Amino acid sequence: MFQSFEVTARPEQGPPRLDRLRAELQAEGLDGFLVPRADAHQGEYVSDHDARLAWLTGFTGSAGFCAALREVAGVFIDGRYRTQVKSQVADVYTPVPWPDVTLPDWLKQQLPDGGRVGFDPWLHTLAEVERWGEALTDSGIEMVQCANLVDRIWTDQPAPPMAPIKAHPLEFAGETAGDKCTRLAAELREAGHDAAVLTQPDSIMWLLNIRGADIPRNPVAHGFAVLHDDGRVDLFMAAQKLSDLGTHLDRHVTVHDPQAFLYALTQLSGRVRLDKTSAPQKVADALGDRAVPGDDPCALPKARKNAAEIAGSAAAHLRDGAALVELLAWLDNQPANSVTEIQVVRRLEELRRRDNALQDISFETIAGTGPNGAIMHYRVSEDTDSRLQDGHLLVLDSGGQYLDGTTDITRTIAIGQVGEEERAAFTRVLQGMINMSLLRWPRGLAGRDIEAVGRMPLWLAGQDFNHGLGHGVGAYLSVHEGPQRLSRLSTVPLEPGMILSNEPGYYREGAFGIRIENLIVVQDAPALPGSDAERQMLTWRTLTYVPIDRRLIVTDMLTSSQRKWLNTYHAEVREKIAPRVGKAANLWLDAATTPL
């Protein structure tokens, strides 16, 4: 089983650690200190060295922060984690529903007479700090840059990661690093920018066709870079990480010690592009007036997968689908109450490891049965491991990092005889997933313009779910990749080549959870027979091929087009996956893909 060594705190460790942090507040003359789940690169996942929020509070969700004041400590969490946080933090911490309640509003309530709240400028973006300033005007509350107070009290803090980097083969990248740098440099010149600062590791990995291992489950390495308008790149990364690359980094890339990064920024001239939404305040301070706000120049090109990246992802999904089918066939052969969540996780990871192209899983496998399935980002442990009981649903959300692509798939599985309420909710979720899969839309629309299509069947029943309908996915990179999303918050137009997840769900706390997820890629929509199209349309191509549990479908609830889509999908699953699995799995697959 792939191992995770994530730092965390047991609930009983929270109070003494908070007391030590408050002693530092007293010594610094501060009224509070912010502890985000973030590093200097603002990625979703952090290394053990940067897991300050988990170490202090015990909360291990992928988003959130703690505002530790002298009398109260708020843990800010979004809708995905409002159940999880209750079991992870001690009662000295107060869960705060975020972003319903913003940090400035909460601070004004807790510090009505004003105060000084410290923050580490490496761990908060320029945009974030600017928002605080605007919202706290005339409040008497001052946000103060300071040293990281958690680092002072974390005596056994792990060292920063130094995993070796490897070259990403051109056959999977589809474009040389030199060509990427030349192409993006031309865009900088056209925008009137002399350089761009890159602070996000996945951007640097994509640009230079390299992959790292500083973050569990994500093939990225920590570092910074400056892309100049002539195509040159200054890379600020520990030399020991690069020792296995040989001559992969050609003469247009110059490697520097990371400690030289801030000084190098002060020596840049002209207009330097900086992404305010991801660059640390510390970087903005070093650039001063030379900083020009603009998007990370790698973000959209990285999101628009080329033909080689799409082909690699499609191939990876077929092999990954075969592992899932083997797992589901095995699981259906186990009597109820005989298998635990951990056993399912281990079995699936063993099956994935049969593929030599697998480098890692793409995130910690979620296997939640019964009430555990209602925790959206549930992570099984020895303490919570539950048996799969008759009448329960199992939410199985998992993925793999393959050399040719990144996968992410969720299936909800019936254990024994499941109730009609669960089947009706499952069918609504399935209807939403199918509706999105069938969608055609005009070019130029963003995720916020179309994501309601995947929620509508649930809305009609007065139901919904507290996560986005879909996220972007990288090409052997981050399993959660921007800037595109299927979210009511996303304004980024969807373009051909973008890979996203399509994953509606439904969660009833203390009872059950449901989620169905396929990965899909944007493509130009073919003209409909006899149509007189006035606008260029886009549609989806499905990448994921694994059966959807027919036992949970209330067939009469499906429209004829939804039923046709499902039957066609299952026929394609059988055709593509059957040659890749064993005899027992083939027999199971035949039954699982029988037309409705």
What phi and psi values does residue 244 have, to the nearest 5 degrees? -95, 5
Peptide bond into 483 cis (omega under 30): yes
Tell me the C-alpha distance between 218 and 55, whole Å.
21
pLDDT on residue 82: 80
Low-confidence residues of the chain: pLDDT under 50:
1-5
Q: Which fold has domain 304-592?
A: Creatine Amidinohydrolase (3.90.230)
What CATH architecture applies to the domain 11-153? 3-Layer(aba) Sandwich (3.40)
* Fold agreement between 11-153 and 166-302: yes
| Identity of the residue numbered 449 | D
Tokens representing residue 572 in the block: 């394609």
Q: What pLDDT sits at residue 379?
A: 87
User: Which residues have CB under 8 Å from 152's CB, separation 6+?
Assistant: 24
- DSSP of 78-122: -GGGTTHHHHHS-TTEEEEETTTS-HHHHHHHH-TT-EEEEE-TT
pLDDT of residue 4: 44
Q: CA angle, corner 50, sides to 48 and 55, nearest 5?
A: 70
Q: Which residues contact 109 (CB under 8 A, 6 or more apart)?
A: none
**Residue in this structure with the two tokens 């170490």, named with its chain if needed:** 55
What are the residue ranges of helices labelled H in 93-148? 103-110, 126-135
Q: What is the pLDDT of residue 6?
A: 65
Q: How far apart are CA 405 and CA 410, in angstroms?
A: 17
Asked if 245 and 165 count as a contact pair (C-beta separation under 8 A), the reply is yes
Query: Helices (H) and strands (E) in the chain — how many of each?
Result: 19, 28
398 near 412, Cβ under 8 Å? no
pLDDT of residue 5: 46
Secondary-structure percent of the chain, ordered helix, strand, coil, rounded to 5: 40, 20, 40
Q: Which of 478, 48, 41, 37 lies closest to 258, judged by CA?
A: 41
Map out the domains of the chain as residue ranges: 11-153, 166-302, 304-592
> Shortest CA distance to 374 belongs to which of 510, 467, 469?
510
The whole-number pLDDT of residue 3 equals 39
CA distances to 26, 425, 546, 594 from 551, in Å: 60, 13, 15, 11
Please name every residue paired with 273 in a beta bridge, in sequence order, or none if there are none: 196, 292
Can you give the pLDDT at residue 124?
Answer: 97
- Kind of pairing, strands 393-398 and 291-293? unpaired
Q: Is 514 helix (H, G, I), strand (E, B) or coil?
A: strand
Give the fold, CATH level 3, of 166-302: Creatine Amidinohydrolase; Chain A, domain 1 (3.40.350)
Q: How far apart are CA 158 and CA 156, in angstroms?
A: 6
Separation between Cα atoms, residue 245 and residue 239, nearest integer Å: 10
